[in-house]
Structure formats: structure tokens, C-alpha cells
Amino acid sequence: MNLLHDIPITTDNFKTISCVVEIPKDTNTKYEYDDKLEVFELTRCLVSSLKYPINYGFIPQTLALDNDALDVLVFNHDPIDRGSLVKCRPLGILEFEDNGEIDNKVLAVPYWSPLERYSKLADIESSHLKIYKHFFRIYKLDRSSTSKVGDWQNGAEALNTIKESHKRWEST
């Protein structure tokens, strides 16, 4: 099974979206799913004591503006294993540019997260949002890469980006 192409993006008309975890929270190894080989490839280790502060992955059946699957940050108090499929509710999106390419990050919560507690971006503690922005500002300092971190946008903007990325994937 190809995790990028064979898993439906949604099964409930975008109330939830499918997300595949590539990098569990609190780890310092960066893996990327290779959809041609259908494996997770170790692409680098982060420097020093830097660790991913949130579960990181991609949304199947999407093609973002950087010609990769759309990135997703899965907010959960515990790490989620690499390769896990998690149905999530998108809450927002972080504007991000990497080497001149738009590489935005959707922020989502697992569907089992209480809706009355996590229904919009403002429900995520501001300290967490600041930590995530800061992480993306510094996680490539050891690389000859230029990254720009923008602002958080709301769930409607996230959903619009997800649907646009899905349409782009469908037309390939």
C-alpha cells in the first residue's frame, strides 16, 4: 500500500482528514516517506539537543506548492509512532517558506480530542504555538537553507489549503 496515494484524504467530507506520522514528537531524527519506494527514509538528525516538539507528517492525496505532500503537525500530548494513520481535525496552518518555496504546515488534532476543548486554533495554548514557530525558525540552522516563518492562520484557511492541495494531487 502506498501511504501517499492509496489512503483517502477524508472519509467524511472533510470533517476529518487522514494524516500519516513521519516523525514522532520528542525525537531528533527526520524521516520522510518515499512514495516510490514505499518506505520511510532517514534524511538527517537534528543538531544538539533539538527535538521535534510535535508529531510531524503528511496528508495523503495532497500535493503542496513545494511539490511534496502537504505537511501536518498532529497535536497530541504523547508521541505517535512513525507510519501511524491518524484521522484529525484541522485547526489552523502555519505560513512557512523554505528556500523560496511555500511549505505551509497544517496544525491538526486527532479526532478523539474533545471537540469542546479543541475546535479552533485559539484552543491550542499560545505557548505551544510559539514553541512550534520557534522550532521551525531554528531547526535548519545547521543547513545552508533559508527559512521564513510567518503567522498562524485559522482552520478555514487550513481547510482551503488542504482542498487546494488535494485538487492539485488529483490533477497529476
pLDDT digits (tens, 9 = 90+) for 138-157: 988 777 778 899 999 999 99
Residue 62, phi then psi, degrees to nearest 5: -130, 155
94-132 pLDDT per residue, tens: 999 998 999 999 999 999 999 999 999 999 999 999 999
Q: What CA–CA distance (Å, rounded) separates 74 from 12?
A: 19
Class of 17-170 per CATH? alpha beta
Q: Is the pTM of this model over 0.85?
A: yes
Place of cell 505551544: 128
CB 95 within 8 A of CB 151: yes
